[in-house]
Amino acid sequence: MIELKEISKKFGNTQAVKQVSFNVASGETLVLLGTSGCGKTTTLKMINRLIEPDAGQILINGKNVTDQDPDVLRKGIGYVMQNIGLFPHYTIAENIALIPDMLKWDKAKTKSHTKALIEKLHLPESTLAMYPHELSGGQQQRVGLARALIADPPVLLMDEPFGALDNLTRTSIQKEFKALEELRRKTIVMVTHDVLEAFELADRICLLDKGEVVQIGTPKELLFQPINDIAKNFLAGQRLVLEFKVVNIQDIWCYLPEEINYEGKSETAGLSIWEAMESLRKKDGDELFVSDASNTVKSVNFGQLTTAFNQYRNAQQHE
């Protein structure tokens, strides 16, 4: 769907982006992760030509972006950014209707789409007549998302979309974001410096350092098969949390106790270790029932879970 081929960009004497290449499959979420100044935002902005690359090619659906009128190109690419950039002199409804108006949509169509969308984004309808400054930061970010999604573009670019929000709001919006049907279908490139956010939302992560790609892979690959010290060190601080979040019951299935006969309610094996631990902590009893795809059920307690996890981890590292 999106293909970057050896993209480079210099600002003055600084090489901001150096021969970056990657592919994003249709419907996939790729997160560009790195410290500030690593070139991730520059890379993102070259996709919709807010910045023009010095060298290399960018293809969307096999078509070179430089062959297209940038204004037409951008209308087909949703864009969400940290500072949101809502028009302060437009109401929320007018802000959301910007692209439909440019595409000359029927007013009624715009209105019904807007209504449906803000409901999914948990924005009360009364906000439509308000101006951006009357909304909270979290609400504004939802409006920014609605503005980018209203015309249903196949591609969505997000530049630190949750960066300006406080931790609580960020976590809840991230959850909604993951659950939003509209976003599942989209090909998304997202920039963040927040490792947890990247692991939470990414299908694959592209780790950048000093304008160069360090490693591209699934969160699991980045965690358990880092290709060098840069990749390893980048995740070091939060490694345990990340591992708990990335590894699921299915992964450690063979290290868990023997299966049992159980007819009651059980959790799926898709549950991450983190989620399993949270469930155990909340439950009255100290046993959690999990079932895999073939409906075999196992019972685990906290000790069994951590033991199995450690075994799995050792196995990964010796692979």
CA proximity to 298, closest of 308, 285, 288, 307: 288
The sign one gets for the Cα dihedral 46, 159, 71, 182 is positive
# residues contacting other proteins (CB under 8 A) = 24
Question: What minimum distance in Å lies between the beta carbon of 26 and other proteins?
Answer: 22
User: Which of 18, 21, 50, 292: binder of other proteins (CB under 8 A)?
Assistant: 50
Tell me which amino acid residue 144 is: G
By beta-carbon proximity to other proteins, the closer residue of 84 and 213 is 84
Site string for other proteins, 153-192 (x = CB under 8 A): ----x-----------------------------------
Site string for other proteins, 193-222 (x = CB under 8 A): ------------------------------
Judged by CB under 8 A, does residue 11 bind other proteins? no
56-115 binders of other proteins (CB under 8 A): 70-77, 79, 81, 83-89, 98-99, 102
Question: What minimum distance in Å lies between the beta carbon of 183 and other proteins?
Answer: 18
> How far is the C-alpha of 211 from the C-alpha of 177, rounded, in Å?
28
By beta-carbon proximity to other proteins, the closer residue of 72 and 168 is 72
Q: Which residues make Cβ contacts (< 8 Å) with residue 182, sequence separation at least 6?
A: 117, 120, 149, 152
What the block records as the tokens of 102 is: 């440019």
DSSP H or E segment with residue 99: helix 98-102
* Strand partners for 58: 4
270-289 binders of other proteins (CB under 8 A): none
| Cα separation values, 197 from 24, 103, 117, 225, 240, Å | 19, 33, 24, 20, 15
By beta-carbon proximity to other proteins, the closer residue of 87 and 233 is 87
What the block records as the tokens of 308 is: 């199995």
To which residue do tokens 């790609």 refer? 213
Q: What is the contact surface with other proteins in residues (CB under 8 A)? A: 48, 50, 70-77, 79, 81, 83-89, 98-99, 102, 147, 157
